[in-house]
Structure 1
Amino acid sequence: MKHIQASEAKAKFSELLDQVERGETIAITRHGRIVARITPDEEAKRQRAREAIKDILELRKTAPGATVEEILQWRDEGRRF
């Protein structure tokens, strides 16, 4: 969670809203104490998740299949054993 002073939050409110829209929670402080939090809308978060799932399912229809061996190989690429 990001902390920001109230005076700075006032000056950067639009930028803070962009960050919240991307899923970050912002704590607004006054004299070092949290006085408010800006959090993402839960319904919007669920809607983005539903859309991502739908996109993945559509992609799976056209993507070539992969074997278990290929998946394990991709997982292990760059690892030191």
Structure 2
Amino acid sequence: MSNEHAKNGNDFTPIIIDNKPYKAPKSPMTGSELRALAVPPIASDYELWLEMPGDDDDKIADNQAVELKPGMHFYSVLGQINPGASDGTL
């Protein structure tokens, strides 16, 4: 029932993206829709992750639908992290 309310704009699902609170207007939402909900929107060179209990979080693909629950925490990280990489200059 709450999903139907969210679709009609009468209800929102409170979620967190990058430590900021947002009100998701519907559920489920795709990774692309969640990226666009964030302010500023999450850039395409960043990955979107869902915090999970324990050590393993879930990477959310752009086309992946996520059934939202109140209080879900998402975060973004740079997709290509290359520590110690050299640009060729010394």
**How does the TM-score come out when normalised to structure 1?**
0.29
Bigger-Rg structure (1/2): 1
Structure with the higher helix share, 1 or 2? 1
**How does the TM-score come out when normalised to structure 2?**
0.28
Which structure has more relative contact order (CA 8 Å, sep 6+)? It is 2
